[in-house]
Each structure stands twice: as C-alpha cells, then as structure tokens.
Structure 1
Amino acid sequence: MTALEARIGEVRAALDQVTDPELDESVVELGFVTGIEIDGDGAVRVGFRLPTYWCAANFSYLMAADMRDAVRALPWVNTVAVTLDEHMFIDAINDGIAKDKDFSDAFPAEAGNDLAGIRQHFGLKAMERRQEALLRHLLAAGHAPQALVSLDLAGLAALALDAAGAELRRRYLERRGLVGGLPLAFVTSTGERIMHETLAVYLRHISRVGLNAEFNGALCRGLLAVRYGGAPQPLPAEPGLADFMRQSSPQTARP
C-alpha cells in the first residue's frame, strides 16, 4: 500500500464515522461519498451526493459540516474542501461549508435552526433508535425490565454481553451523553425515568423512530440507485425492519 492509499483509507475511515442524521447510518455505507482526493501538502477534497435533488437543507448541511470536521481532525490534514453535487441548495451549502458558516448564517430564512440545535435534534432521535435496539436485545437475553430501568451507566458498562449486545451497547452509549438528566443508563430523550411497568408501551412508542428510519433508508438507497445507477445498497442486518414491526414478546410485555 502506498502512502497516498493509506491516507485515503484514513479519510474514508473518518468519513465512515459520519452518519446521515435522519437514517443514523454511515455516509460511506450509504454510498453518499463519491470521491476523495489528496494533495501532497495535506489538502483533502471530498465529494458527496444525496439521493434526491431536494433533500432537506438542514441535514444536508449537517452531513457536510460533520464530514469536513471529521477529516479536519486527522493530524496531517491542512485544508479540507467538502463539495455537495447536484442539489437544489448546492451554492449555499458549498459556500457555507467552505467559509465555516453556521447553518443559520448560510440559510438566514431558517430562523432558530443553528447547527448545534439540528445536531442535537437528530442525535436524540438516533439515541432513541439505538436505545430501543439495545433494550429489546437485553430483554430477549432474559434481563428483567425492572433491573434494566434501574441500571446506572456503570452497571450497563459492567454487563456481560454477547458480541451483538456489546456492539449495541457501544453504539447506544455514543448518544446517551446527549441527554443528561438522571444518572441512569436508560432515560427518555428528555432525561426522565422510564418506568418498568410501562416499558413495553415506551418501546412501542419510540419504535416509530426506527421504523421511520428503516423506511427512509430503503427509500434513499432505491432513489440513489435510480438516480446514479447501480444496485441499491443492502439493508443493514441490525436493527432490521422486522425489529420495529414485530409485536412485543411476552417477556418484553411483562412488568
């Protein structure tokens, strides 16, 4: 592997940590990244595209900003140019990202929609989706609802889990810090306690986030394939659509 190939791999790995804020999936896995170019002086250029010409400006801008910041964090990178192609707001987005503008400055008509607020909004949705997947996994493994909702963060970290459960825990803890509130492992998106008596109801309530994301993810893959050619990207194995459409098991439903 050449030095250039190694650096391209580093950039791709950094971009892989950036998610579509609505789908909570990697922009690399979704096929949004179209190209990575690196000059010898540490200048990086990243091209990306979206499934439709009219994808919402707020999360399009958020993805572009997160990609820029992820690549910029690499120690050898001097400059980063992230360019969105074929979008209705292409000029405003590319100009704003190049000049490090906040979303509200790039889109002044979107009053009150600063980049931090947009990131928090979508981050909490991702937290709910990841929380549901982890809780359902733990319930299926035999953990009692009352014990789960009483766990603190240290207790969750100490649980002995299989490989799938450990990965779900890791992903959930990436977003748990967005909430704050009570020092419990599992809380609502507003930081409130989850009652074990109504855990099954709560899980059904937040399942709409995952179901919506799964539907939109499948739609985005299809639209991307139709627009640019090629086969749609495969759906993720975990969590799948069935996880959000199935009825609660008896174990999940009991208090």
Structure 2
Amino acid sequence: MKFAGAMTRVFTACAIVFALASCERPPAPRGQGLWSYWSTDMTPVKITFKRMEPVPGVKLPPDMVIPRAYIKFALPYKWPTPKTMPDVATDVDALVLFLAHDTGEPLAIAERRIANSDPDGVDRRLYAYFNVYYAPTKREPGFTQYEKPPPRPEAWKPGMPVDEDGIVRVESPNGLYKISGCKVSGGEPPRPTLFCAYYARITPRITVGANFADYRAMGGLPFAERVLSVIKKKLCEFSDCSN
C-alpha cells in the first residue's frame, strides 16, 4: 500500500504507537499496524504545541483539546513509553489525526460502520488522516507558493490542465489549498482508493496536510472541498478558530 509505505518512511525516526489498555482496541485499517495510536476512548487530551522561541517560565494554555480517539500520532509522546496518551500533552511538534470524513467521527469509532462497504477492512474512500500545523510552531513547507491561486471551483475532468509543477491550486471559501500526489498530469489513473495529498490553510493559525481519496474519482474538486470542510469544522470544535 503506497500511502502506508510513505507514512512508514516519514515516521521511521519516531516509531510511535499509543495503545489505550483501558478501552476496547478495534483493528486498525490495513497498512497502519504498529504505527498508529488506535483507541475508541473519547476522553479529552489537552494539546499545547511546541514554540519556536519559548519564553522560560511561561505556562501556555492548551492550543487544542482533542478526544483521544482522533489521535494517530502526537510527538514527542513515543511508543512504548508511555503507552497511554496523557491527559496533558505539551511541546507537541507533530500531531496527526484520524477522521471518518463522511460524518466527522474518529475513525476508530466509525470503523465497524464503514467497514461494511469493504470486506477487507475500512473503506479508504471514507476516511482521512491529516497533520495539523499550528503557527507559530511550524508551517507547511512551500505554503507561500500558492498564496494567490487561480479559482478552480469546477470538477476535474480528464485532460484538465494543472500548474507546471503538476499541483492543483485552489481558492475556496474554506481557505487556500493545493493538491498533489495524484499524478494529475498523467500516469496512474484516478481511483477512489488512491490517496491524494491536500494541503490547506484552515484558519490564520492552523494549516493541515491531509490525505484522503482521489478527488478525480470522487466527483472532482467539490469532493475535496466537502472533506476539507468537515476537517475544518472538527478542528474548530477542538480549538479557537476566531484568530
């Protein structure tokens, strides 16, 4: 599985898994294995992101309060110690969440429902995993390259031109985003089980790098817009989106 191999390469240096012993542990989607914290526990975790220039002695309020069931990774909390995600996670420099984008539920909770459409595991068309970048902690690399993208509200069609680097840049009501990793200018044909990479500015302080089904096989750009809207709605439940 291509996306699993990519995630393994990204996180090889920080081999993380969180297993919550106090609740039921459903099977993780194919390709996740020991690389994912996988829990149905909905108790909250207070997340404070690492600052580039911390002020000594200053205790920061949490940037996000997120149910454990959404969390896939939360560095620097590493496997195998501790195995249970703490109630307060500070100096987090990488946060990755799992979400069933048809309802916004944590994937671990939605797994049984959406697995019915795929006898071999969770239907890849219905879930997303995404990195959360919180300013001033870090910004998605190259984000300034698409500050002023051309509007592309229509669905993708075979032969539709993309930018010279093969990336689709989109201006939308939910912020700016770009799409890569789909080989949109040729190569592998569109299919729902191919995960594309979507980079979006959700709020002035929060950007995400999301991975979910190939928009070209799911109705075009309106599909990507809908999934990003679900992600934005959830993140705004977990954090202050007003600034």
TM-score, normalization by structure 2: 0.30
Q: Radius of gyration: which is bigger?
A: 1
